[in-house]
Amino acid sequence: MRFEGKVLLVTGGASGLGAAVGRRFAADGGRVAVVDLDEQRARAVAGELDGAIAMGVDVSAEDAVGRCVAAVAEHFGSIDCLFNAAGHAEFGPIEEWSFERWQRMMTVHVGGTFLFCREVLPVMRKRPGGAIVNVASVAAVKAQSGNAPYGAAKGAILAFSRQLARDVAPEIRVNTVAPGRTRTGMTEPLMIKRAGSVEQGMTVFGQGNLQKRVAEPEEIAAPVCFLLSAEASFITGTLLAVDGGETA
């Protein structure tokens, strides 16, 4: 029950990594605000968790983010932990990328992370033990074919998180995780497109790491919750690769 009395706001909480972290946080005694563009699925996830609430928000909409954080703080009385996981994946040759598409990639991933951090900080400062975890990717530190805009967005999240860790220390800890390929709502369609089925895709997508497999969302949620918890009280400003050794 390491999160008893603690409140987590998770973006992208309706699916994949965000949902897995929400479930684990609640299982360990915490209360969760499940925030996602897809309000219906956010409600479904929140419905599984004791005392959780759901909100439909586009993380790149500045006013909506401000209203969301205020409503969550009002409902729970505090926000102790923030996990920024909202995002989308798009690949392809750079010549095929419009500037609008590039900007959407940046605005959702980097902009959404920035906005939620900015809005949550004053609330988090009211109680000791605040912790933020932002999601980068292996693509932040390693070149991958056809993945430059996504890699750029994830690299920016990594750099932003490091800088922020310095600015908000010692009261609040900020860390980044770089997941390797994980089976989620984001990757399952890619697996089907590339390999014909999720099962085949799990094999193909897993070849790039030392464990020769794709992760399950719970395998990312465990280290994220560790970083959010008091067990990681001396860890801030770092990048934790949870990638089956892909970047080893």
Ligand X SMILES: NC(=O)c1ccc[n+]([C@@H]2O[C@H](COP(=O)([O-])OP(=O)(O)OC[C@H]3O[C@@H](n4cnc5c(N)ncnc54)[C@H](O)[C@@H]3O)[C@@H](O)[C@H]2O)c1
In the list 8, 12, 123, 124, the residue contacting ligand X (rule: CB under 6 A) is 12
Q: Closest approach of Cβ 27 to ligand X, in Å?
A: 18
Tell me if 16 contacts ligand X by CB under 6 A: yes
Q: Closest approach of Cβ 127 to ligand X, in Å?
A: 26
Nearer to ligand X, 60 or 229 (CB): 60
Nearer to ligand X, 103 or 233 (CB): 103
Length of the chain: 248
Task: Calculate the alpha carbon distances from 144 to 77, 96, 150, 166, 183 in Å.
Answer: 43, 17, 10, 30, 18
Taking CB under 6 A as the rule, which mask of x and - marks residues 165-194 in contact with ligand X? --------------x-xx-xxxx-------
In angstroms, the CA 228 to CA 8 distance is: 9
Tell me if 151 contacts ligand X by CB under 6 A: no
Tokens at residue 239, please? Answer: 């990048």
In the list 6, 7, 9, 15, the residue contacting ligand X (rule: CB under 6 A) is 15
Nearer to ligand X, 18 or 130 (CB): 18
Give residues 93-112 in contact with ligand X (rule: CB under 6 A): 108
Q: Closest approach of Cβ 244 to ligand X, in Å?
A: 11
Q: What is the DSSP string of 78-96?
A: ---EEEE---------GGG
Taking CB under 6 A as the rule, which mask of x and - marks residues 25-44 in contact with ligand X? -----------xxx------
Q: Closest approach of Cβ 134 to ligand X, in Å?
A: 9
Q: What is the DSSP string of the chain?
A: -TTTT-EEEEETTTSHHHHHHHHHHHHTT-EEEEEES-HHHHHHHHHHSTT-EEEE--TT-HHHHHHHHHHHHHHHS---EEEE---------GGG--HHHHHHHHIIIIIHHHHHHHHHHHHHTTSS-EEEEEE--GGGTS--TT-HHHHHHHHHHHHHHHHHHHHHTTTEEEEEEEE-SB-STTHHHHHHHHHSSHHHHHHHHGGGSTT-SPBPHHHHHHHHHHHHSGGGTT--S-EEEESTTTT-
Q: Closest approach of Cβ 99 to ligand X, in Å?
A: 18
Taking CB under 6 A as the rule, which mask of x and - marks residues 187-226 in contact with ligand X? x---------------------------------------
Residue type, 99: F
In the list 88, 101, 166, 193, the residue contacting ligand X (rule: CB under 6 A) is 88
Q: Among residues 25, 114, 150, 205, which one is catalytic?
A: 150
Active site residue 135: no
Tell me if 85 contacts ligand X by CB under 6 A: yes
List residues near ligand X by CB under 6 A. 11-12, 14-18, 36-38, 57-60, 85-89, 108, 135, 137, 179, 181-182, 184-187
- The residues that are catalytic are 150
